[in-house]
């Protein structure tokens, strides 16, 4: 049996000969009408603020998977994340086709230790379906006080769903670590934050002191979901003497920004291998793309994630009303290839 539906005549105006600007105003008035009807007619009282925040998230979500509306607490969280420490389960996530997917688990964090992989889909949190939730809603549910735990079910292609209990802890992001393996230096960059460029320079200097006769370097960007553009440029520049690192192109033809390397290869031009996989996204792809196009490094692993777009965070009323994270440009590697959706192909 079908549910009972009552149709109420609310009068419909037909738009004729509207200019785009007038049409936008008409649709904004329509939005106000719909909000008014929901307030009066919905079965239980509603919270206007929540409804409007959800509408803003819906609007941004209709643009692309990486644009979103961050409510005030979401904006605070973003600022914490790029500065290098926060409390959580250690996951970088994104929306894709109505699902929230793991881009990468953070090194040594609760999710990584529990065996969560790049590409896993979050199907439920605390037994409630996560289908249709936005990235910020899922983030809110995953975050919480240190020491508290959260049950999350992950789906992986061809496997049974896995429910995992993750205990939240301070995710102290050590962006660069390094060690000597025989005659080679191994460098791990786990995320690109405000400290990455400096930490990489210090780590390379330390490894050179430990073994002055190094024969080459391995740069591990697997499961590195990205971060700040400036950090990606600094990491690329560490291995390049000259040339373009990345260009950024916006809506207008003349909105091209090019970023170039400064002289000085911190490794003195020694052989370099870069490791990437499906969890390498955004800033990781800029680095891999620049080093590949300049034939400075051999890229080894699996094709990367394919997030080649630039998001600008625009605070709303100084952040009091949250912020918009909106895609304003796309990244192109030095050879002019877009990273978006395609990713970086490894050499091996």
Residues marked active site are found at 282, 293, 307
The rounded distance, in Å, linking the Cα atoms of 171 and 173 is 6
Torsion of CA 257, 258, 264, 266, to 10 degrees: 80
- Measured CA to CA in angstroms, residue 92 lies from 138, 160, 254 at distances of 11, 22, 33
Torsion of CA 183, 185, 186, 188, to 10 degrees: 180
Strands (E), the chain: 68-70, 85-88, 91-96, 99-105, 121-125, 128-129, 149-155, 162-167, 169-172, 176-181, 184-189, 216-220, 244-249, 256-260, 272-276, 298-301, 309-315, 323-332
Displacement of CA 189 from its chain's centroid (Å): 16
Contact 325, 70 (CB under 8 A): yes
Alpha helices for the chain (secondary structure H): 20-41, 48-61, 72-83, 110-113, 135-142, 196-210, 229-238, 283-293
Contact 325, 66 (CB under 8 A): yes
| 3-class state of residue 91 by DSSP | strand
**CA-based Rg of the chain, rounded to a whole angstrom?**
23
Q: What is the largest CA-CA distance in the chain?
A: 83
Angle in degrees, CA 233, 234, 236, rounded to 5: 65
The rounded distance, in Å, linking the Cα atoms of 307 and 326 is 14
């Amino acid at each position: 049996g079908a549910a009972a539906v009552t149709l109420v005549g609310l009068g419909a105006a037909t738009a004729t000969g509207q200019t785009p600007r007038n049409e936008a105003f008409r649709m904004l008035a329509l939005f106000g009408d719909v909000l008014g009807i929901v307030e009066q007619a919905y079965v239980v009282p509603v919270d206007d603020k929540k409804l409007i925040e959800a509408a803003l998230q819906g609007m941004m979500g209709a643009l692309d998977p990486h644009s979103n509306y961050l409510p005030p607490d979401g904006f605070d969280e973003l600022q914490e994340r790029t500065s290098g420490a926060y409390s959580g389960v250690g996951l970088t996530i994104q929306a894709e086709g109505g699902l929230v997917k793991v881009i990468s688990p953070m090194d040594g964090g609760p999710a990584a230790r529990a065996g969560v992989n790049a590409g896993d889909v979050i199907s439920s949190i605390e037994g409630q379906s996560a289908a249709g939730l936005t990235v910020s809603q899922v983030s809110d549910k995953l975050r919480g006080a240190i020491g508290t735990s959260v049950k999350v079910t992950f789906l992986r292609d061809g496997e049974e769903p896995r429910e995992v209990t993750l205990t939240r802890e301070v995710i102290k992001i050590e962006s660069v670590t390094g060690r000597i393996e025989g005659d080679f230096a191994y460098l791990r960059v786990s995320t690109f934050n405000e400290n990455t460029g400096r930490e990489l320079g210090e780590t390379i200097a330390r490894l050179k002191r430990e073994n002055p006769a190094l024969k080459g370097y391995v740069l591990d960007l697997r499961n590195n979901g990205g971060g700040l553009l400036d950090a990606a440029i600094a990491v690329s520049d560490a291995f390049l003497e000259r040339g373009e690192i990345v260009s950024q192109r916006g809506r207008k033809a003349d909105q091209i920004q090019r970023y170039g390397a400064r002289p000085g290869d911190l490794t003195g031009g020694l052989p370099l291998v870069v490791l990437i996989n499906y969890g390498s996204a955004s800033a990781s792809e800029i680095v891999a793309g620049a080093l590949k196009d300049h034939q400075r490094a051999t890229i080894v692993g699996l094709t990367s994630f394919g997030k080649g777009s630039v998001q600008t965070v625009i605070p709303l009323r100084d952040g009091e009303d949250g912020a918009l994270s909106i895609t304003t440009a796309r990244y192109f590697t030095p050879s002019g290839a877009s990273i978006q959706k395609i990713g970086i192909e490894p050499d091996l």
